[in-house]
Amino acid sequence: MLRNFSRILLSLPLWWLVSAQAAPELPLWAAASWRNDVEKVKAHLAAGTDADEVDDWTGKTPLHYAAEYGNLEIAGLLIDAGANVRHIDDDKATALHHAAVGGFVDVAKLLLAHGANINAKDKRAETPMDGAVFFGHTPVTDLLKEYYGITRYERGNHFLLEVTALAPGWYGFLNKKMRVESREFQILSSEDLIRWRAIKVLDFDAETLVYKDRKTSKYSQRFFRVAPYTDPPLKSSNLIDIQYEWFEAKPIEGALDALSGEWPGSEMVANPGFEAKGDGQRAKGAYIVGDTTYAQYVEVGDGKWEGVKDHRIMMGLGWNPDGIQLTIVVEDDYHHHTNKEAAEGDAVKVLFTDAERRKVLGEFAFALSDPFLADDFIYDKDRLADTEAPQRAGFVEQITGDAAFNVVIRRKQKTIDPSTGTTVYEFWFSPQTIGLAKLKENVTFGLGVAVIDSDPDAPGLTGWAGWGPESVLFEAKPSEAAAVILTADPEE
């Protein structure tokens, strides 16, 4: 049977077999033009037609025609198929020129998002802005005025970010000229796509702006975007970056297992910024907002921070009617503690205040001793607090308050290079910690967290990160804590 079927296939005309996979007779550029024939465009692309097929009469590609006639869906299909958004036609015009002249703001936005050159000039030395202004397409001119695009991003031997923006000057001609003044823009960075911080503010005085930095490690595990810089952002009065001063804690049903799986990564707070004001404090992982420099880590004494692989923190905070759960994940090179006092080495201190951040309600210190008993072992409150054990496992100190609480700590150390490890601290604090019998929605309180770092060659308290760490590090300062509000209803 198979042999007979093969003979039938071989006897079929060659043209029939080819036509089953052949592209439509209508050229791709024609299907993308005024015809707006989405199905033929899809058929062309499925058959392998070059997305940058050129119309010999005009030098335009299918993307030029899609932009000229405002065919957004086709423009998206072509870009997904690898169409060159910077291709120029016989008039040296790009697809963005045609979208701007036609007033097709959505197509223009799509092209810009995929790297279209906002300052490209055609053979009359006109830019897309010139065309949009001349034809009075205000939505397109507004888009172009506010658009900044990352065109190049490298993190190899150095960190490099290249941005294009609309060059300052006069746009348009005749009686429709408009002036775009020189401005500033800021490069923003985020570790969770939610809380963005400015890492650089640059003058807008050239078509291409480049930000370089020789240190690359501080840019690992980050996302970037570019935005106009206008007024200096607000500044809090308590040393915390205002983006981190308020936090909405959501309901959670987590177990004290020293695992952070119950926290979506996007909801954890990563290395919140704070000002390094004390004597001898050296800001590391610094970034600038307005005229204020914020640190993600502070060195003191002989301490030395080598970047995120040396010490990096993530924190999750949630609640239910029976208590507050706080998880702190510390990634570092190794765990070290002097075994003298809780704060004399890798440790965590936690502070709770009233809603006005004027009164201390609870203060705690927790640490895992060095050497710890075993890798990937859960140390519970009783073991950590056992001072009679032959080898002390750790420290648990309730400095202020008498409310119930619980803690577990787990340390996992990698044995292969790079020799890094993770310590997970998980805490449960009863409602009485903040003076309540039960927690409910819209309750507010103050929270301070200091995550202390220590190294064998620089033992003791030689560096720290945290969430308003100055509020709890040396002496309790409730006014410098962050503010927390409990949101949503756990029963919903």
pLDDT tens digits, one per residue of 285-309: 888 887 788 999 999 999 888 887 7
The verdict on 203 and 324 lying in the same domain is no
* CA dihedral over 76, 79, 84, 89, signed as positive or negative: negative
Mean per-residue pLDDT over the chain, rounded: 86
The verdict on 53 and 94 lying in the same domain is yes
Q: Is 487 exposed, middle or buried (0-12, 13-18, 19+ CB in 10 A)?
A: middle
The verdict on 85 and 208 lying in the same domain is no
pLDDT of 19: 40
What DSSP designation does 364 have?
Answer: E
Instruction: Name the amino acid, one letter, at 259.
Output: L
- Domain assignment of residue 209, given as a range: 147-230
Q: How many domains does the chain have?
A: 3
CA atoms within 13 A on the CB side of 313: 27
Q: Alpha helices, DSSP H only, in 232-380? A: 242-245
Q: The domain spanning residue 378 has which CATH number?
A: 2.60.40.1190
Domain end among 202, 230, 258: 230
- Both tokens assigned to 80: 């997904």
Least confident window among 315-319, 341-345, 401-405, 406-410: 341-345
In a domain, 190, yes or no: yes
60-97: per-residue pLDDT in tens? 999 999 999 999 999 999 999 999 999 999 999 999 99
426, pLDDT greater than 90: yes
The C-alpha atoms of residue 28 and residue 43 are separated, in whole angstroms, by 9
The verdict on 322 and 268 lying in the same domain is yes
Query: Crossing angle of helices 138-146/105-113, nearest 10°?
Result: 20
| Three-state SS at 142 | helix
The verdict on 199 and 128 lying in the same domain is no
In a domain, 11, yes or no: no
Domain end among 230, 253, 279: 230
The verdict on 123 and 90 lying in the same domain is yes
The verdict on 284 and 198 lying in the same domain is no
In a domain, 66, yes or no: yes
Please tell me whether the peptide bond between 228 and the residue prior to it is cis, using omega within 30 degrees of 0: no
158-209: per-residue pLDDT in tens? 888 888 888 777 776 555 566 777 677 888 888 877 778 888 887 766 667 7
In a domain, 106, yes or no: yes
Q: What is the dihedral of CA 467, 473, 477, 481, to 10 degrees?
A: 10
pLDDT of 222: 81
208-239: per-residue pLDDT in tens? 778 888 878 778 778 888 887 776 667 888 99
In a domain, 4, yes or no: no
How many CB atoms are located within 10 Å of the residue 388 CB?
5
Q: The domain spanning residue 37 has which CATH number?
A: 1.25.40.20
CA distances in angstroms from 314 to 55, 91, 320, 449, listed in the order given: 54, 53, 21, 12
| Three-state SS at 210 | strand
The verdict on 356 and 430 lying in the same domain is yes
The verdict on 179 and 206 lying in the same domain is yes
The verdict on 269 and 391 lying in the same domain is yes
Instruction: Give this prediction's pTM.
Output: 0.67
How many CB atoms are located within 10 Å of the residue 390 CB?
5
The verdict on 412 and 457 lying in the same domain is yes
The verdict on 46 and 92 lying in the same domain is yes
Domain end among 137, 160, 182: 137
In a domain, 288, yes or no: yes
